[in-house]
Structure 1
Amino acid sequence: MSEAMRRGTLLRWTGWFALANSFVFGLVSLRYFGGSAPVDSALAWVYLVAVYIGHHVLLTTVPLFLLATPLILVWPRRRAVTVLAVVLFAAMIALMMLDSLLWAQSRFHINALTMKILGWQSWVFAGFIFALGLFFESMLARAVWNWVQKPKCRRGPLVGAFCGLMVLLSQGIHAWADAAYYVPVTGLGQMLPVYKGVTAKSFMTKTGLVDIKASREREMARRMSSGLASASGRLLKYPQNPLQCDGGEGLN
């Protein structure tokens, strides 16, 4: 096998291994929704499907290619690339499991502040998941290698185009929803770890796709109405009749 072909095979395996892990990460991310997704419109459903696919594909492909591509170019060895990918994804799975537990308890993702308040039990749990992840990722890496080396019809470009379409669709919907203050969409992305949706208020306004002032007023009205509905049993009940006070006897 020539050096150029070896690099091509390594890059192809890297892509398929990242894609396989995007499916694994998608299963883990179901924990963020607690068994149900807060979706109340057709557009939000379309966005949820697109962002779920696109985000997890980016979450796995971007870090792996950033680390593996220089290694493949400088030292194209199967074992080195495989070990790098296995360790990377095992660590990411451990962090995602820890992050999902933190989200379920506090609705916060892991950041510089939350890392300081995590107890040692949390890090022991993450270490245990990391060890399991090494075993699982090693088996998955071997399976992907066997699949890549078999002669078959290559559907990589088609799969890549579909994943790219999901990324563009989800980001486009988020950009519009952010400009239109459409919380049923923008609120979904906040539940996913390491997610950042694009914003384009100026572009949406210049092209006439969004009336920001009207959208802001509509969202404020929606929040007020929903807040009143949810707090109907907790509102202050003012006196229905004028207050009457009896002076009574003087104190002196």
Structure 2
Amino acid sequence: MIIPNLTRLQWFKVSWLFSLSCIILSYGISLQYLSYIHVSSTLGAGYLSVAFIGQIGILGVILTLPISLLVTLIRQKIINTLLLWLSACSALLLLTLDTQIYSLYRFHLSGFIWNLAFGEGGSQIIHLSWYSILLSIIGIFALCTLIFLLLFFSIKRISKQRKAPIRIGFTLILISFLSSNGIHIWFDAHGNTEIRAMTRHIPLYQPATAVRFMAKHGWIDAHQVNQQPKLNNQHTRSDLSYPTTPFKTHSNERQNVIFITVDAWRADAFEPVTTPNTFKLTEAQHAQYFKDHHSGGNVTKGGIFSLFYALPATYWDAFTAAQHAPVFFRHYKTRVIIRASLALGH
């Protein structure tokens, strides 16, 4: 391919047209996320559409900003071409990897997931056959080739002074991004679980919230609308499958149950000398003393969550968004006596 000599302005335009092309390609790759999102209303479908277009697109814009400035300053056609191609390949390969990781673990790429999959012992968790490796190499080659063709198309189009829908494309992305955040601000403050539950599925998506601002101006009652979840709620519109099997009891008699929890209470501090009165509970006639129990987290949020849900704290965001009560709360009349708020989301 013969790369024409372009002016600084033309390289700037090439970078943004190429970015728009790659963003469209990224939409196709990111469609895999949508299969895990539960949509049950027209509002949810509309919000998901603008959130998907806006977030994936705005990530492309953020990545393009420094690259477009660099190619404008460098103006060396070989270096600029390689810079644009390699940056796009890296970004889209990471996105593709994220979709695969998400399909396995339902978590996006992070330090934890990266260490789990590729750190020490990662080979025991993820094992790839030669066939899978071969398919991966072919897929990477095909994706990088397609990206190169998109770059060639962008350079050729700009060099021939042809009009490109750059402004229209990025205007649509910006409108979608702002619209999704506006919708989220309003319906998050009003406790819409469907809107909240979609957030975790879209990579790096942190939509705006304004609960305190709206409560301050009297537009909502934060304590009634958003702060206190319905602990006995049995039916929520979410993609959670919890519990996976029905809760079965062998007796109609319900015993009184008291959970006594102390923040940062270590197991080795629960013994006759340090806590003599509490330890006496284990010496009662019908007492059951479980010595192999482990907390689900080393902070209050993770520990309390796993205590009630019997799940790791990594599911916190999903249950917070859905305002999904523990099974235990559905079968008992509950009362919480606390010194700090247990409201989901805080």
For the aligned pair, the TM-score class normalised by the smaller chain equals: 0.7 to 0.9
1:205 paired to 2:238: no
Q: How does 1:150-229 map to 2 (within 5 A)?
A: 150-153=160-163, 155-216=165-226, 219-220=229-230, 224-226=233-235
What amino acid does structure 1 have at the position aligned with 2:197?
G
Pick from 157, 167, 182 the counterpart of residue 147 of structure 1: 157
TM-score between both structures, scaled by the size of structure 1: 0.78
Taking the aligned partners of 2:166 and 2:174, their CA distance within structure 1 comes to: 12
Name the counterpart of 2:75: 76
- Compute the displacement of 1:230 (Å): 6.8
Q: How does 1:52-131 map to 2 (within 5 A)?
A: 52-73=52-73, 75-118=74-117, 119=122, 129-131=139-141
Q: Which runs of 5 or more structure 2 residues have no equivalent in the other structure? A: 1-5, 254-346
Pair 43,204 (structure 1): closer, same or farther in 2 beyond 3 Å: farther
Name the counterpart of 1:21: 22
How large is the Cα RMSD of the aligned pairs? 3.0
Structure of higher RCO (CA pairs closer than 8 Å, 6+ residues apart): 1
Do the aligned residues in 2 keep the contact of 1:179 with 1:210 (CA within 8 Å)? Answer: yes
Pair 129,69 (structure 1): closer, same or farther in 2 beyond 3 Å: farther
Q: Secondary structure at the match of 1:220?
A: coil
Taking the aligned partners of 1:201 and 1:217, their CA distance within structure 2 comes to: 10
Pair 127,195 (structure 1): closer, same or farther in 2 beyond 3 Å: farther
Taking the aligned partners of 1:94 and 1:156, their CA distance within structure 2 comes to: 24
Taking the aligned partners of 1:236 and 1:44, their CA distance within structure 2 comes to: 37
Larger relative helix fraction? 1
CA shift digits 1:78-100 (9 cap, x unpaired): 33222112111211222222211
Report the more deviating stretch, 39-48 or 230-239: 230-239
Taking the aligned partners of 1:8 and 1:220, their CA distance within structure 2 comes to: 57
CA shift digits 1:28-78 (9 cap, x unpaired): 1111233x64111222111111111111111212112223313422x1233
Taking the aligned partners of 1:153 and 1:169, their CA distance within structure 2 comes to: 28
Taking the aligned partners of 1:151 and 1:29, their CA distance within structure 2 comes to: 32
Pair 130,211 (structure 1): closer, same or farther in 2 beyond 3 Å: farther
- Compute the displacement of 1:135 (Å): 1.7
Q: Identity, % of aligned pairs?
A: 19
- Compute the displacement of 1:126 (Å): 6.7
Taking the aligned partners of 1:198 and 1:15, their CA distance within structure 2 comes to: 26
Do the aligned residues in 1 keep the contact of 2:12 with 2:71 (CA within 8 Å)? Answer: no
Pair 128,193 (structure 1): closer, same or farther in 2 beyond 3 Å: farther
Pair 170,17 (structure 1): closer, same or farther in 2 beyond 3 Å: same
Taking the aligned partners of 1:91 and 1:154, their CA distance within structure 2 comes to: 25
Pair 139,186 (structure 1): closer, same or farther in 2 beyond 3 Å: same
Pair 84,224 (structure 1): closer, same or farther in 2 beyond 3 Å: same
Do the aligned residues in 2 keep the contact of 1:10 with 1:76 (CA within 8 Å)? Answer: yes
Do the aligned residues in 1 keep the contact of 2:85 with 2:147 (CA within 8 Å)? Answer: yes
The alignment of Structure 1 onto Structure 2 pairs a total of residues equal to 232
TM-score between both structures, scaled by the size of structure 2: 0.59
Name the counterpart of 1:40: 40
Pair 208,21 (structure 1): closer, same or farther in 2 beyond 3 Å: farther
What amino acid does structure 2 have at the position aligned with 1:20?
S
Do the aligned residues in 1 keep the contact of 2:9 with 2:72 (CA within 8 Å)? Answer: no
